[in-house]
Amino acid sequence: MPGSTLTLWHAWQGEARAALDRWVQAYTAGVRVETTYIPLNDLGARFAAATDAGTGPDCVIGPPEWLGRWALEGLVRPLGDVLDEAARRCAHRVAWDAVTFEGAVYAVPLVCSTLALYYDRARLPAPPATFEAMLQAAAAGGLVFDRGVQWAVGYLHALDGALMDARGSPALQSAAGAAWLARLAEMYRTPGVITDPTGSAFAGGRAAMAVDGPWRLAVYRAALGDRLGVALLPALGGKPAAPWVRAENAYISRAIGGDRPAAVMRFLSHILSSAGDMPGVTGALPVSLDAVPGGDALLAGFMAQAAQGVPFPNRPELEAYWAPVQRAIDAVVVHSADPAAALDEAAAAVQAQVAGIRANLPDSVYPSFAAPATRRSMVVEGPIFPFILQGEIKFEAQTAHPQLGCAWQGVAGTMRSMDGQPMTRVIMVHVRGSGLSVFVVAGTAEDHGPGGWEVTVGSEAAPDTYHVTLMHTNGELLSETFRVRFPGSCEGNLARLDFVQVKPL
């Protein structure tokens, strides 16, 4: 279709958007590619609405969480008739598995990310090869290992366990799952193992190792220089750790026909062959095992880890797992709960949420849940988390930065203890969304009141969505996650969340 125009929607910003522009400009197949930026919080809904109306783009770039639901809703097409072997050879098996749903490929993986082991060569001439050796090295020199589900799940896979089965139903209640939580408790109780969501402990030399992703590579490279090494996650029980491999995908609209799907696929194949210039500036990894930009040994370490990873789940049921599984990890690691009992509680919560998710999916037939054979008690009385939101989220015109007026948008509030005193230093606020992930400490923005905090999220009033969670500086979750949807007006460019403690830490 020479002379025609293909349309592509995306939410890439900064260096990622610059890379996309380069790929478009370098495409010389006689077809013009027109790209449109849409904020990530709006992209999925706008694509769905436009596709249903027959006015959507030919292609959209988005996260893996959308794949399963979009496939079930008929918004994106399977690619079997336009995906040739040449394109398949451009990406490794794990990347293609990550875009496969119910046996069909529904997207093209463009770039990916995973976790690996950073280490300081000056303090560890060789990285630890086993879980036990990692803990010994941690006791001597320190290890940063986040307690989140995404960080820990690689060791569940090493023990032949899984969060869910192939259809999205819980697979938590197993001997492997209980052993996984027990080993996590052993790790986090090892002297020298810390959580540090800011990345400063490893960069500042307070730890000899850190399990982290390629998004932190530029920071660590600048801090450690030639001392920085990247290695595979240490094996557990003689089997390799297999972290999730998360791909950023290109989806082809189900609404287009004729020769347009094949034309879009040719452009996406061009991106696959060009993606090697992206990691150095964005922290993403090529999906090809052969494309190591500039022969970078550190990126090669991440790519080797990705090749033995597990695809990030693309099923719509995944959203039901995050909070229950995180509570199970925290219950065992922080409160010494019985691992099997914690998994029973998590599985029950997941089952209830999955049922609600499936009830809203079109024309899907799922096996019914079998009730757990036994339920061990892990009763937590009173509030689950130590902090709750006092009242509701309030949107108002910001006054802390009068010189900026409407040229500012942010989230702020206060934090008070059980006896009404301001909380400072040990409590962090995590704000994430629209490509932002920021941690601030309570008591650092007294303009908003005692125990005040503030996070700037933008330079204009925009209808973006963010999520706010409280954490202890040791990594423990201290509140549920609150969704903040800005109205996009100057009168509501400050979202205020005031927290109060209702339970001892």
Q: Which CATH superfamily is domain 5-113+245-311 in?
A: Periplasmic binding protein-like II (3.40.190.10)
Contact indicator for 451, 422 with CB cutoff of 8 Å: yes
Collapsing DSSP to helix, strand or coil, 319 comes out as helix
Whole-number average pLDDT of the chain: 87
Report how far residue 75's alpha carbon sits from residue 316's, in angstroms, rounded to the nearest whole number: 14
The single-letter DSSP state of residue 253 is: B
Question: Helices 175-188 and 339-359, interaxial angle, to 10°?
Answer: 120
DSSP 117-151: EEEETTT-SS---BHHHHHHHHHHH-EE---SHHH
Domains 5-113+245-311 and 116-164+177-239 share a fold: yes
Q: What is the pTM of this model?
A: 0.74
Tokens representing residue 8 in the block: 């592509």
- Structural domain boundaries in the chain: 5-113+245-311, 116-164+177-239, 387-501
- Looking at residue 258, what is its pLDDT? 92
Cα angle 104, 315, 237; round to 5? 100
Q: What top-level class would CATH report for the domain 387-501?
A: mainly beta
Number of residues in the chain: 505
Banded pLDDT at 464 (limits 50, 70, 90): confident
DSSP 152-192: HHHHHHHTT--SB-TTS-B--SSHHHHHHHHHHHHHHTSTT
Strand order in the sheet with 143-144: 193-194, 143-144, 209-212, 116-120, 228-231
Banded pLDDT at 108 (limits 50, 70, 90): very high
Question: Is 366 a residue whose pLDDT tops 80?
Answer: no
Question: Is 365 a residue whose pLDDT tops 70?
Answer: no
Helix (H) or strand (E) holding 302: helix 297-307
Distance of CA 411 to the CA centre of its chain: 21
pLDDT tens for each residue of 153-202 = 999 999 999 999 999 999 999 999 999 999 999 999 999 999 887 788 99
Report how far residue 231's alpha carbon sits from residue 103's, in angstroms, rounded to the nearest whole number: 32
CATH of 116-164+177-239, one of 3.30.1370.140, 3.40.50.2300, 3.40.190.10, 3.10.50.40: 3.40.190.10
